[in-house]
Chain A
Amino acid sequence: MILLQIIISGLLLGAIYALFSSGLTLIWGMMNVINFAHGEFVMIGMYVAFLIVTFLHGGPLAFGPAAAIVLFLLGIAVYFGLIRAIMRGPMIAQILSTFGLALLLRYLAFWLFSANFKTLPEDLIPGVLNVGGILIGMPQLVAGMAALALTLGMHLVLTRTALGSQLLAVAEDRQAATLMGIRPDRMQALAWGVSAAGAGVAGALIATFYYIVPTVGESLALIAFVVVAFGGFGSVPGALAAGLIIGVIQSLSAYWFGPVYKDVIVYALFVAILWIRPQGLMGKV
């Protein structure tokens, strides 16, 4: 019974991992750029939630969309201010630019909010669900289900709408898409906005039951790397499957080996994937 409870909480956490990792994989698949500041986008989403709860006394329905809007705008600003230029630059510029951005955002948060752990009030989403002896906290349940819905929604928008097709067309072949009358610049900006917004919402969701601290982005970004590598670069369904699996692996290893080892197991898995199946579960090289 306890095992089932751990697996369920792992799946709920994994859904949130899937949500912010699918943004990372979208950018990677589209532009061949890894955003090292992606974890910081999640972190900013957490602080948006914290600020709205603390100063405006808003609930999840207020800070979820707020985080999405703030991060969407930030993502677009980052694209036009930074990414568009470094795409034409050498490889080192591509890696260092988002890495520098990550440091800047992380330590700005450090400076603004201090290094102290913050949490949202526990009664924000009150209650514990009891299903035949399996206890699930309401915050985890609501956040996990919302993340799952949003990830699936992102996948549907990408595959079933005209806008999504245009986005994927740019990812597939930029030049051909241009010939079809699609403006790749706009699509790439949109992808950065959507990717950042997904990270922001994931941050706001995870903040309902997780501690908020400026350096949280580092470990979350690493989890996203593992999810993306595991699920295959550029694949949203891959990220969803991998996110859920990583969530369960983390929960189980925290239970079996102790909480400090949950990240160790995941990082070790990353190195192992590198050796065994570098293209990921569903990806192509």
Chain B
Amino acid sequence: MRWLGPAGAALLIVYPFILTGPFYERMGADLLLAAIAASAWNIVGGYAGQISVGHAMFFGAGAYAPLLVYTRWQLPPLAGVPLGIAVSLVMAAVIGMPSFRLRGHYFSMATIAAAELVRIVVGNWDFVGAAIGLMGPPVARTVLDLSFRSAVPYYYLFLVVLIVLLGMTWLLERGRMGYYWRAIQAGERAARSLGVPARRYKLYALMLSATFTSLAGSLYALMVGFIDPESGFGILVSVEMIITAALGGVGTLFGPLIGAIILVPLKTATNSAFGGGGSGLTYILYGGIILLLARFEPGGLLELWFRLTARRRAPEPLEARHAA
């Protein structure tokens, strides 16, 4: 199966030349964006094992900041990207510092509450567009506006970001950070007793994850040119990151990408088959998938694949992860 990786990578690079037309180009860009967001979530949710249900707050901050600096000060939207990241880092610290002292489920509850808090505040704050939201530049003034009519430039931009993110995750995974995260995930108390500064490394994971989730939000806003509280901070934004990562396999490098490759076409198909009202049906499907995954295959498709193809290689047994 060694050819699978290079073949997949080649396919991603030539995709816009194979499936042309606005519909497929946009779907490709959506797919990569979902992969970026889910890979970012995977750093804290997968590797460090802290399940965030509120990553929409980072995504939304990243999405709002570019359009805000454009709307308020006529700056190129790109200038808002660091602002979004800064805001996300502050929020990550406010939530992470206290809740990482506590046991697992607490972090999930805190993130979901914080994301809702931010969504309601943004939805009622006129400076950031309140319930209506914000618009980007209608026509590109300079190339700095990163406003293209076709989805193909975004596709390649997203591909570069995804490669950088996965490359960095790969490096960290092999270093001290990765070992610490896996130790924390396998059993925090045991990790602590071996001298792993668990709280600090959980916070690092959250910060890094927040940074890239914010970046994903910025990329979304740059492409779509419009953001409102629901599409930026809504709970479903967090849900999509979680299910994408969980389907492919949490805590694996390519799991989120594989999840996106399956889910985004599925979502595009159900939405175009059942229309706008079909989004309800999409989420029934999502809920069902999450439920069945958690019940029967918590390791996701990658783990199932490994088990079916290479028994001899014996991937990390599941029991080891929840021994704590």
Residues of A whose CB lies within 8 Å of any CB of B are: 28, 32-34, 36, 82, 85-86, 89-97, 99-108, 110-111, 115, 218-219, 222, 225-226, 229, 260-261, 263-264, 267-268, 270-271, 274-275, 278, 285
Contacts and interface: CB of A to CB of B under 8 A. Distances in A.
By Cβ-Cβ distance, the 7 closest A-B pairs, closest first, are: A100-B290, A103-B287, A104-B287, A100-B291, A97-B294, A93-B298, A267-B117
Given A108-B284, A218-B235, A267-B113, A278 B291 contact: no
B84 interface: no
A93 B112 contact: no
B287 A107 contact: yes
A102 B293 CA distance: 14
Contacts of A229: 106, 109
A9 B239 CA distance: 35
A270 B106 CA distance: 11
B121 to A, nearest CB: 6
B53 A99 contact: yes
Contacts of A86: 294-295, 298
Contacts of A97: 290-291, 294-295
Given A100-B287, A107-B283, A229-B109, 11 more contacts: A86-B298, A92-B294, A92-B298, A96-B51, A100-B289, A103-B239, A104-B287, A107-B280, A263-B120, A267-B116, A278-B106
Contact of B124 (A91, A92, A260): A260
B113 A90 contact: no
Contacts of B321: 90
A104 B294 contact: no
Nearest to A229: B109
Nearest to A264: B120
Contacts of A92: 45, 49, 51, 246, 250, 294, 298
Contact of A34 (B101, B108, B121, B124): B108
26 contacts: A34-B108, A82-B295, A86-B295, A89-B294, A89-B322, A91-B49, A91-B51, A91-B322, A92-B45, A92-B49, A95-B51, A95-B53, A95-B104, A96-B294, A97-B295, A101-B287, A105-B287, A106-B287, A107-B283, A111-B284, A218-B235, A219-B116, A270-B110, A271-B113, A274-B99, A285-B102
B95 interface: yes
A214 B280 CA distance: 11
A214 B308 CA distance: 40
Most buried by A among B101, B105, B246, B293: B105
Interface of B: 45, 49, 51, 53, 94-95, 98-99, 101-106, 108-110, 112-114, 116-117, 120-121, 123-124, 235, 239, 242, 246, 250, 280-281, 283-284, 286-295, 298, 318, 321-322
Contacts, number: 146
Contacts of B49: 91-92
Given A96-B246, A225-B109, A274 B298 contact: no
Nearest to B120: A264
Contacts of B292: 100
A96 B49 CA distance: 12
Given A101-B287, A107-B283, A270 B113 contact: yes
A263 B209 CA distance: 27
B244 to A, nearest CB: 12
B322 A90 contact: yes
Contact of B98 (A90, A96, A278): A278
Nearest to B278: A111
Nearest to A226: B113
Most buried by B among A96, A104, A267: A96
Contacts of A275: 98
A32 B104 CA distance: 10
B284 A104 contact: yes
Contacts of A270: 109-110, 113
Contacts of A95: 51, 53, 104-105, 108
B114 A271 contact: yes
Contacts of B116: 218-219, 222, 263, 267
Contacts of A34: 105, 108-109
B281 A260 contact: no
A263 B112 CA distance: 13
Given A34-B109, A260-B120, A270-B113, A93 B295 contact: yes
Nearest to B95: A271
